[in-house]
Amino acid sequence: MNPKYQSLFESFPLRSGVTLKNRIALAPMTNFSSNPDGTVTDAEVEYYARRSGGVGTVITACTYVTPNGKGFHGEFGGDRDEMIPSLRQLASAIQAKGAKAILQIFHGGRSCPPSLVPNGDVVSASDVKQDGEDRVQPRPLTEDEIHEIIHAFGETTRRAIEAGYDGVEIHGANGYLLHQFFSPHSNRREDQWGGSLENRMRFPLAVVDAVKKAVAEHAKSPFIVGYRFSPEEQEEDGFTMADSLELVNALADLELDYLHVSLMDFWSKPRRGADESKTRYEWIVERVGNRVPVMGVGSIHTADDAQKAITEGGAPLLAIGRELIIEPDWVEKIAEGRESDIQTTLTKNDQARLVVPDPLWQAILHTPGWFPVVD
Give the residue numbers annotated as catalytic, written as ranges: 176
Distances from the Cα of 168 to the Cα of 47, 62, 143, 164, 214, angstroms:
20, 10, 25, 11, 11
SS3 (DSSP) at 179: helix
Q: How many CA atoms lie within 13 A of 214 on its CB side?
A: 23
Residues 6+ apart with CB under 8 A from 66: 79, 107, 148, 149, 152
Question: Are the beta carbons of 244 and 229 closer than 8 angstroms?
Answer: yes
User: Rounded to the nearest 5°, which phi and psi values hold at 100?
Assistant: -75, 140
Pairing of the two strands 12-13 and 19-20: antiparallel
CB atoms within 10 A of CB 335: 18
∠ Cα 224 193 212 (to 5°): 15
How would you label 250-288 residue by residue, b for 16+ Cβ within 10 Å and e otherwise?
ebbeeebbbbbbbbeebbebbeebbeeeebbbbbbbebb
CA dist 262 and 264 (Å) reads: 7
Residues 6+ apart with CB under 8 A from 224: 14, 16, 18, 100, 102, 166, 167, 168, 257, 258
Pairing of the two strands 24-26 and 317-320: parallel
